[in-house]
Chain A
Amino acid sequence: MTTAMLELQDVHTYYGNIHALKGISLTVNQGEIVTLIGSNGAGKSTTLRTISGLNSPRTGQILFNGTRIDRLPAHEIVRLGILQSPEGRRIFPRLTVLENLEMGAFTRNDSVTMKEDLERVYTLFPRLRERIAQKGGTLSGGEQQMLAIGRALMGRPTVLLLDEPSMGLAPVLVEQIFTIIQDINKQGTTILLVEQNALMALAVAHRGYVLQTGLIVLSDSAAALQSNETVQKAYLGME
């Protein structure tokens, strides 16, 4: 009784003449954590950028709850409940932590629910409460990552797209972030997770797709991918 919430059908995306996505098809069902693993330049971030409308696919369709969204501008896709914590965090460096979080709730102009959501984010990331008045650019890498995820949560996502949440973080923090990702999922948010850290990603995800130079080469349950020989060799560092 799984329902496809987000569906990509044969999506091709170009950067100028560069054919970055060569026909991606994938499905994210309601309530799942789906991970997209693959090496640098495989097209993981481009896939998320295409879903969010920052890049538009040249051919193919993207469906959200059955309706096409691939021709919508980025800001309208956000209004549907698809939020992204982008690669490299992309915190607004000269806005305060609080202002960054407020921007996450930009589509909802309503101060009551905003307070609730702020509380929720502070509960997940107590560090952010301590940094509330600090400029985003002065935070440490880990704090910026928390802010980027928190900012996306402020938009009350139905689907949360996470791009490399573990990048550049100390191992302790990586564990912490992945635990929080699971918590967010348990609270009812569907998650599409892009990661280079395949080990951690497969540990928390339900299903996974393996991306290689713009193509999906494997898809299976996370457990099956973990025990897949090719995956072990290429992405899990096992011989």
Chain B
Amino acid sequence: MATSHPRVAQGVPWRSIGKILIVIFCVLFLTLPLIEMVKAMIADPQLLVRQLLIGLTNGAYIALIALGYTLVYGIVELINFAHGDLYMLGAFFSLTLVGVFSLTPETPWLIRGPLLVVVLLATMAFTATLNMLVDRWAYRRLRGIGSRMAALISAIGISFVFQNLGLLWGYLRFPFMNGVMGSNAVAPKSFPALFPNVNLLAGTGVRFGAKDLIVVGVSVVLLAALYVFVTRTRLGKAMRATAQDRDAAALMGIDVNRTISLAFILGGALAGASGMLVGLYNGTAVFDMGFTAGLRSFTAAVLGGIGNIVGAMLGGLLIGIISALSDQYISTKWTNAVVFGILVIILVYRPTGLLGDDTAQKA
């Protein structure tokens, strides 16, 4: 350009000095810890593998929640703040059913196995329905009027409502629940150890329990089913079409509101499954467990490229593994800083996320 703006660079190259300072800072503060980390990883490969496997398990349940964020965002561009809390309600619902069915670690597998499947399906149905109804009552009316802020604020409100619902749930002492909520209403609730506590890799020095396999296995099945649904079926394609162009979808005869409901139903079902799996895996559920899980899952969705289904799965896996490595090699207290630091770096250089589309950020 002939008339480009005169740059300050004439006298002092401030920008380069800034860059040099950042590089020096990074070298000083990051090199040594990084070297230490790598040394520690090499020194004890078994520990590294163990952490990676923990990351895989955590990644699986994070991916399940992340999909709910990404499906809904992809189609209505709403960050569904209440989604993490929906996952918590899934955990509470499944715990209640565990009480109703009087499932204990002594229940024979022939009965326990099928009943656990029933609990899983019922929980998914519960959170799916709840998510769909909340969309109808609290979000749908706010769509298309004013700014997107209205629906976002509504979602934040629902998040608090859900958390208080979780607190209220802790007070429930119906006889048919068989005392599953414990004696203290606010305290974390305990699940009975219904997943077998066997190390599948016993003798190798690495731990991958049967319960890890259940969490990962169920997640993979659900993720695969969702992927096939969205890419291969008529309704799944209609959902992608609606995400890409709502008016054009309506002109194809697609009922847009129903398709949006479908996104909430699918996302809700996956969150419920995640809540049950994590509850049984960790043996505990508490009314505010949805906050951190929701935040990490949302991060996973953004990391993978929000609106992108495979991106949410990949993002979940990455967040799971990074967290597990950070827990072990840095400090659990630093994990959130590390996870979000990496998110910031990736977003600065790739604002649409790892698999996000450059032209648009949806589906």
> How far is B241's CA from A52's CA once the two chains are assembled, in angstroms?
18
- Interface check B247, CB cutoff 8 A: yes
Once A83-B251, A90-B251 are accepted as A-B contacts, the answer to whether A75 and B240 lie under 8 Å apart by CB is: no
B253 & A75 in contact (Cβ 8 Å cutoff): yes
A54 & B250 in contact (Cβ 8 Å cutoff): yes
> How far is B247's CA from A95's CA once the two chains are assembled, in angstroms?
15
- Interface check A158, CB cutoff 8 A: no
Q: Which residues of A contact B248 (CB under 8 A)?
A: 86, 90-92
> How far is B252's CA from A107's CA once the two chains are assembled, in angstroms?
7
- Interface check A57, CB cutoff 8 A: no
Q: Quote the shortest CB–CB distance from A45 to chain B (angstroms).
A: 11
A103 & B238 in contact (Cβ 8 Å cutoff): yes
Q: Which of A90, A106, A109 has the largest number of chain B CB atoms within 10 A? A: A106
> How far is B63's CA from A71's CA once the two chains are assembled, in angstroms?
42
Once A93-B359, A94-B357, A106-B234 are accepted as A-B contacts, the answer to whether A74 and B250 lie under 8 Å apart by CB is: yes
Q: Which of B237, B241, B250, B252 has the largest number of chain A CB atoms within 10 A? A: B252
Q: Which residues of B contact A102 (CB under 8 A)?
A: 234, 237
- Interface check A214, CB cutoff 8 A: no
A99 & B253 in contact (Cβ 8 Å cutoff): no
**Across the two chains, which residue of chain B brings its CB closest to A49?**
B247
Once A94-B363, A99-B237, A106-B238 are accepted as A-B contacts, the answer to whether A52 and B251 lie under 8 Å apart by CB is: yes
> How far is B248's CA from A222's CA once the two chains are assembled, in angstroms?
30
- Interface check B193, CB cutoff 8 A: no
Q: Pick the contact of A106 from B240, B253, B357, B363 — CB < 8 Å?
A: B253
Q: Quote the shortest CB–CB distance from A2 to chain B (angstroms).
A: 27
A75 & B254 in contact (Cβ 8 Å cutoff): yes
Residues 215-252 of B, flagged 1 when their CB comes within 8 A of A and 0 if not, give 00000000000000000001001101100110111111
Residues on B lying within 8 angstroms of A by beta carbon are 234, 237-238, 240-241, 244-245, 247-256, 357, 359-360, 362-363
- Can you name 18 A-B residue pairings with CB atoms under 8 Å? A52-B251, A54-B251, A74-B247, A75-B254, A83-B251, A86-B247, A86-B248, A91-B248, A92-B241, A94-B240, A94-B244, A94-B362, A94-B363, A95-B237, A95-B241, A104-B252, A107-B252, A151-B252
A86-B247, A94-B363 known, 7 other contacts, Cβ within 8 Å = A54-B251, A73-B250, A92-B245, A94-B362, A106-B234, A106-B238, A106-B253
